[in-house]
Structure 1
């Protein structure tokens, strides 16, 4: 109870930061991050955009992959307006398409850039009827998990190379949700039954399955990285309760009422990002030569 109260009040913990700390605050003591390259999916709005802004502000090269190149260019312009010297690269990526993921990875790797941070942040919460990706996969699962799984697999080699040549530990952050615990059962069977329309489509269950897959992927990848002896760490993050565009299709009086009730528990977007940008988690202290 005491711990929960301290959390709600934003009291500082052992790290010196609390739930009310912002990413700007926790990165203020960081050295210049100009030697780091970060790829952040879902960085055109919400918590992904704030992650991109703060890392770019601290000097990191930020790659923004996006389905809407215009939205990504607009985000790049906003970052440059605040930080004129920022290094921000925009590339097209549709996470629901495996072909697009492969194309993005190919284009990024062809640039010859290092890779220190991969933040798999993009998320989708489907509303209404069942929708399938061009690969025949339930859209939420395709976007939230499958696309990120393939992206990580295709870029892991470059991250391992970067780590070996620079001595800077690589970091992968998979953004999940505590909602992953809302699903129980065989997720593979569930997806097959839903895709074949053998059972009714439930958007919340589909979202929970995708986030469960993020957690399972993180655990398995962590074990394999340890076996490989790769100096790369993968973490799974629950960002907390925050109002972002993920809820845009459910806007209305009921949604507004719920957010008013939860207002004291909600985090702001800058507060959510503090966990991802804390130096101990992203190896931002003494990043070393590029």
Structure 2
């Protein structure tokens, strides 16, 4: 469709690749955790961040797959800094173990790429469905890498990006309901805080 090729304010579109949106950007000195790094957009995100000098920690369930992916990336980017750590996002025990080990390793955390969404109730269902459909339609990691590295979005937080631009007019009135946001926050704390 013609609309996917139209460039937005960033100068990029849905047709832009991850390498295009990060061209000329140096990520040296940055550390990123990438979840979902053993398939699809997660692999490409890991590769492009590593290409730009970012130290990438692949947070993954399957260590053997992680080793193979790291080896493949290092073949084309010999000086890539890629490590992997086991993380199963459907297990709070695994999440706590990962956090403890990550903190013990002394790595900074500059970028968190949370690719593999796991449902914690109905509030996440729309995110999953939308992300899956969008990934199918766009088939790329350009928006993820643009948001992670591009200086035009440095300091930008709490925005939803689509086609390498801040998405506009995409939220319903419910998404702007501060009372509902507070209730969801408290509900999430109840779910995730150990008793």
Same fold (TM over 0.5): yes
The CA distance in 1 between the partners of 2:28 and 2:10, in whole Å, is 24
Q: Does residue 43 of structure 2 align to residue 49 of structure 1?
A: yes
Q: 1:109 to 1:284 in 2, by over 3 A?
A: farther
Q: Deviations over 1:183-220 (max 9, x none)?
A: xxxx5xxxxxxxxxxxxxxxxxxxx65334x69xxxxx
Structure with bigger gyration radius? 1
TM-score of the two chains, using structure 2 as the length reference: 0.69
Q: Could you tell me which residue of structure 2 aligns to residue 7 of structure 1?
A: 3
SS in 2 for 1:242: helix
For residue 17 of structure 1, report the CA deviation from its aligned partner.
1.0
Q: Any stretches of 5+ residues in structure 1 without a counterpart? A: 124-143, 147-186, 188-207, 216-236, 244-265
User: Is the contact between residue 33 and residue 56 of structure 2 (CA under 8 Å) also seen in structure 1?
Assistant: yes
Equivalent position to 1:276, from 131, 140, 144: 144
For residue 16 of structure 1, report the CA deviation from its aligned partner.
1.4
Q: Does residue 71 of structure 2 align to residue 70 of structure 1?
A: no
For residue 74 of structure 1, report the CA deviation from its aligned partner.
1.1
For residue 14 of structure 1, report the CA deviation from its aligned partner.
2.2
Equivalent position to 1:267, from 113, 120, 138: 138
Q: Could you tell me which residue of structure 2 aligns to residue 172 of structure 1?
A: none
Q: Could you tell me which residue of structure 2 aligns to residue 242 of structure 1?
A: 135
SS in 1 for 2:135: coil
For residue 18 of structure 1, report the CA deviation from its aligned partner.
1.2
For residue 121 of structure 1, report the CA deviation from its aligned partner.
0.9
Equivalent position to 1:18, from 2, 13, 30: 13
Q: Could you tell me which residue of structure 2 aligns to residue 109 of structure 1?
A: 103
Greater mean alpha carbon deviation, residues 55-64 or residues 13-22: 13-22
User: Is the contact between residue 59 and residue 86 of structure 1 (CA under 8 Å) also seen in structure 2?
Assistant: yes
What do you get for the CA RMSD once the two structures are aligned? 2.4
Q: Could you tell me which residue of structure 2 aligns to residue 91 of structure 1?
A: 85
For residue 82 of structure 1, report the CA deviation from its aligned partner.
1.1
User: Is the contact between residue 33 and residue 284 of structure 1 (CA under 8 Å) also seen in structure 2?
Assistant: no
User: Which structure is richer in relative contact order (CA contacts within 8 A, separation 6 or more)?
Assistant: 2
For residue 110 of structure 1, report the CA deviation from its aligned partner.
0.5
Q: Deviations over 1:209-243 (max 9, x none)?
A: 5334x69xxxxxxxxxxxxxxxxxxxxx9475334
Aligned positions of 1:1-290 closer than 5 A: 6-8=2-4, 10-30=5-25, 32-123=26-117, 144-146=118-120, 209-212=123-126, 238=131, 240-243=133-136, 266-269=137-140, 273-278=141-146, 281-282=147-148, 284-285=150-151
For residue 62 of structure 1, report the CA deviation from its aligned partner.
0.3
User: Is the contact between residue 31 and residue 111 of structure 2 (CA under 8 Å) also seen in structure 1?
Assistant: yes
